[in-house]
Structure 1
Amino acid sequence: MSTSLIDTAPDFGQPIAVLKHCHDRIRKQLQTLQNLLAHLPQHGADEQARQAAQAVLKYFSNAAHLHHEDEEQNLLPMLDATARGEDAAVLHDLVPRILAQHQQMDADWHIIKSQLNKIATGTDTALSASAVAQFVADYTAHMEQEEQKIAPMAKRLFSPAQMQELGEAMQARRGLAPAAAPQAAAKAVAAGVDIADLRLDYGRASLDETDTLDHPVDQFAKWFDEAMKAEVLEANAMSVATVGADGKPTSRIVLIKQYDARGFTWYTNYESQKGRQLAQNPHAALLFFWRELERQVRIEGRVEKTSAEESDKYFYSRPVKSQLAAIASQQSEHIDSRNAMEQNYAAVEAASGGQPQRPPHWGGYRLVPERVEFWQGRRSRFHDRIVFTLQADGSWKKERLQP
């Protein structure tokens, strides 16, 4: 007898098995959550704790919602349309409870999520034991109920055509293409995955000129708020592209810390690579990509430093350890080892006396927008693009671009 070392998932030709596999993954994340609860009092928000918090956040903010939608939009309606007699009576009693449980677990998750976000960034160690216990208990009982009642009924009642319909709906929800024919699948395995064939067809929403507000920052605020409500993972993450005197572009991901009518603000080391490039060429491009909403926002403009007062205000709002790290790191410069970095940090910590001061080479940048494009994914790559362009008189021109 041989045992595979790889935890393989069933394919969507077995949709009920896929849902059970999702339950198994949920159980693993619930165990991680419980392990984290025990870990924090002894070790705080260390690297292991941050990674655990990020893993749980990623799963329950994304995959778990897809699983609920599989049940609410496909599995349960299909069962309701198929079941008769005693099966229909069981569903009549069970389905409202399952839907109510989904809502309750979502409410429980919102409590835990806000705490995990802080643990994931190392800014706090608080995690409610009672909230975790309730969340674990609710999910465990919910999954057992589905595995004992719903899954066996579906296996018994669904025809092969219905199983295929369910599996394809679940695939489409995840942006996956239907399974390839055996010959094509064999070819793909033999030749490897062709990057040119990787594509996701978008279709969640549309964007018309009349849908957008008159000022691009107001429109950004509207979309950012929608991204937060949709629990987009790290909706505040943006790519910052800069170009130095040599004309060569570079980009990296940073976190936006503020936006208003003046522009879009982030904080960093002024002596870093991006800081040096911005000193040579004070223009940059920002990019937000919110996959869950099939949206992106491109922002271009000139960059200026924030005032010392603004930089102070943000610097001293950060956790002390983050303040120390900003002082200890000569960002983008070569260093021999991680150990050398840790020694630098320890030296700065000892010298600070617990009250680090913002160094003059650390502060904020604000991109003052001159061009802002809102992109909404649409089917067949026929996307919606609405662009705002700053005019000489300070007004904004709004127009549609072809995809």
Structure 2
Amino acid sequence: MTVPLFDSVPGFDQPIAVLKHCHDKIRKQLTTLQNLLAYLPQQGNTTESQQAAKAVLQYFNQAAHLHHDDEEQDLMPMLQASATGADADLLATLVPGILADHQRMDQAWSTLRPQLDAIAAGASTALSVDGVNAYVDAYHAHMGKEESQLATMARRLFSAQQMEQLGAAMQRRRGIAPEDAAAPAAGAVPLPGPVHDAATLAAMRTDYLHSSLSEADVLADPVAQFQKWFDEALKAQVSEPNAMSLSTVSPEGKPSSRIVLIKQFDEQGFTWYTNYNSDKGQQLAQNPQAALLFFWRELERQVRIEGTVVKTSAAESDEYFNVRPLLSRLSAIASQQSAPIASRAQLEANYETVAAVAGETPARPAHWGGYRLRPERIEFWQGRRSRFHDRIVFVRGADGQWSMERLQP
């Protein structure tokens, strides 16, 4: 049997193998960390200990975070979108635990990192025995769980196209151009550096492979369909699924957009809260027509909602204002949103003035409250391969009833 001279490094055409290879590198760095723990009391802060500290720092400050992003932003959402039955039930319990593991390890690393920084700089020999052992044990248990459950499920469930999609996402995250990768993933065009020419921009595209949307898939009520997709976004751990782009138009006909957070949706409409005197508030006072856009990248979905905006009742605004965190309520009182101010220091001074007199239960200011967009048009967009997307739109008629039709991509 021929023994290879070097460890084989899998290409991004084998994304699950790449993730396992990352685990192997993590294990090596954990071993270095444990060796450093034993070395320092005996040998002190030497060139060797500084190099070891730098190696551990370099890996866990950079590569480990990329690996966690691979899992959180791509692997687990893709699994949740593909899994059914017992697999879906397992993920429902497994994924929150893995995300919690990542947070705990990040917190543990934030304690170890300053110690390693000081060792790498030649300024200290202090390294927490309990901190290192807890970090190492947690990582080993975490990786074992991922390899025995997540990786095996992905190999069983993912199609060749999904493996390509996962590998392409991992390449883009690392800024690797397709020609530099072991096996280019279809549809991935990562940026090698700053983009200055139209040809490079034109070449940027990602094929969407997650799902499809047919008329038979869509519920008859578009608000119920939105609820279904919103629940799926929550289940897939989409980053800020409640974030939406709000577009308004000035009296001069100039559009503007910003991100706001939805706080409620039902048959009456889609509700958010803000300062009535802000730019968007003044624009809505002149022209109550507006549009909302949700984009859930992990599921390759977007929802466009258009309609007329009205203010919520004072009672509704009071109710929501009073359940906000106290500091957020004080900020709403102190800030004249969208108005110029001389400096951050002045902004902070305004806040301190309000905080000094407001007490624990400040009243909602008259300039702050809710808006509700009453939808007249709702479009559901599901990304598909080769830009041949699915688009299903609902339009409310004069009688209040919804009609549905498919639009060409």
Settle same-fold status: TM greater than 0.5.
yes
1:209: how far off?
A: 1.1
Residue 278 of structure 2 corresponds to residue 282 of structure 1: no
Q: Which residue of structure 2 aligns with residue 317 of structure 1?
A: 323
Q: Which residue of structure 1 aligns with residue 179 of structure 2?
A: 180
Between the aligned partners of 1:258 and 1:69, the Cα distance in structure 2 is 24
Q: Which residue of structure 1 aligns with residue 254 of structure 2?
A: 248
Change over 3 Å in CA distance of 1:400–1:356 after alignment to 2: same
Q: Is the 8 A contact 1:299 1:373 kept in 2?
A: yes
Between the aligned partners of 2:170 and 2:329, the Cα distance in structure 1 is 40
Alignment of 1:233-312 (within 5 A): 233-312=239-318
Q: Which residue of structure 1 aligns with residue 402 of structure 2?
A: 396
* Amino acid paired to 2:296: W
Q: Is the 8 A contact 2:12 2:168 kept in 1?
A: no
Q: Alignment length, in residue pairs?
A: 307
Q: Which residue of structure 2 aligns with residue 225 of structure 1?
A: 231
Change over 3 Å in CA distance of 1:355–1:142 after alignment to 2: closer
Q: Which residue of structure 2 aligns with residue 63 of structure 1?
A: 71
1:398: how far off?
A: 0.3
Q: Which residue of structure 1 aligns with residue 167 of structure 2?
A: 171
Change over 3 Å in CA distance of 1:367–1:381 after alignment to 2: same
Q: Which residue of structure 1 aligns with residue 386 of structure 2?
A: 380
Change over 3 Å in CA distance of 1:246–1:103 after alignment to 2: closer
* Amino acid paired to 2:178: A
Residue in structure 1 matching 2:339, options 333, 338, 344: 333
Alignment of 1:4-403 (within 5 A): 12=12, 19-21=20-22, 63-64=71-72, 66=74, 106-109=95-98, 137-143=137-143, 170-172=166-168, 174=170, 179-180=178-179, 194-403=200-409
Change over 3 Å in CA distance of 1:240–1:301 after alignment to 2: same
Change over 3 Å in CA distance of 1:387–1:255 after alignment to 2: same
Between the aligned partners of 1:113 and 1:213, the Cα distance in structure 2 is 36
1:264: how far off?
A: 0.1
Q: Is the 8 A contact 2:244 2:293 kept in 1?
A: yes
1:172: how far off?
A: 3.8
Change over 3 Å in CA distance of 1:209–1:167 after alignment to 2: closer
Between the aligned partners of 2:244 and 2:70, the Cα distance in structure 1 is 19
* Amino acid paired to 1:235: P
Provide, for residues 154-173 of structure 1, a one-character-per-residue CA deviation record: whole Å limited to 9, x for no partner. Answer: xxxxxxxxxxx999675246
SS at match of 1:268: strand
* Amino acid paired to 1:375: W
1:244: how far off?
A: 1.3
Change over 3 Å in CA distance of 1:170–1:285 after alignment to 2: closer
1:257: how far off?
A: 0.1
Q: Which shows bigger deviation, 347-356 or 262-271?
A: 347-356
Q: Is the 8 A contact 1:105 1:138 kept in 2?
A: no
1:231: how far off?
A: 0.8
Gaps of 5+ in 2: 1-8, 30-63, 80-89, 105-132, 148-160, 182-188
SS at match of 1:285: strand
1:108: how far off?
A: 2.1
Q: Is the 8 A contact 1:61 1:232 kept in 2?
A: no
* Amino acid paired to 2:167: Q
Between the aligned partners of 1:70 and 1:367, the Cα distance in structure 2 is 32
Between the aligned partners of 2:195 and 2:315, the Cα distance in structure 1 is 58
Change over 3 Å in CA distance of 1:365–1:113 after alignment to 2: farther
Q: Is the 8 A contact 1:22 1:67 kept in 2?
A: no
Q: Is the 8 A contact 1:57 1:113 kept in 2?
A: no
Q: TM-score, normalised by structure 1?
A: 0.64
Change over 3 Å in CA distance of 1:375–1:26 after alignment to 2: farther
1:353: how far off?
A: 2.3
1:216: how far off?
A: 1.0
Between the aligned partners of 1:113 and 1:141, the Cα distance in structure 2 is 12
Change over 3 Å in CA distance of 1:314–1:220 after alignment to 2: same
Q: Which shows bigger deviation, 256-265 or 197-206?
A: 197-206
Pairwise CA RMSD: 4.5
SS at match of 1:227: helix
Between the aligned partners of 1:250 and 1:26, the Cα distance in structure 2 is 49
1:337: how far off?
A: 0.9
Change over 3 Å in CA distance of 1:341–1:57 after alignment to 2: farther
Between the aligned partners of 1:203 and 1:24, the Cα distance in structure 2 is 30
SS at match of 1:209: coil
Provide, for residues 47-89 of structure 1, a one-character-per-residue CA deviation record: whole Å limited to 9, x for no partner. Answer: xxxxxxxxx9998576347457999xxxxxxxxxxxxxxxxxx
Q: Which residue of structure 2 aligns with residue 122 of structure 1?
A: none
* Amino acid paired to 2:227: A
Gaps of 5+ in 1: 1-8, 29-55, 72-100, 116-132, 148-164
Between the aligned partners of 1:315 and 1:65, the Cα distance in structure 2 is 32
Between the aligned partners of 2:162 and 2:372, the Cα distance in structure 1 is 48
SS at match of 1:205: coil
Between the aligned partners of 2:136 and 2:259, the Cα distance in structure 1 is 34
* Amino acid paired to 1:392: A
Q: Is the 8 A contact 2:247 2:256 kept in 1?
A: yes
Between the aligned partners of 1:196 and 1:325, the Cα distance in structure 2 is 43
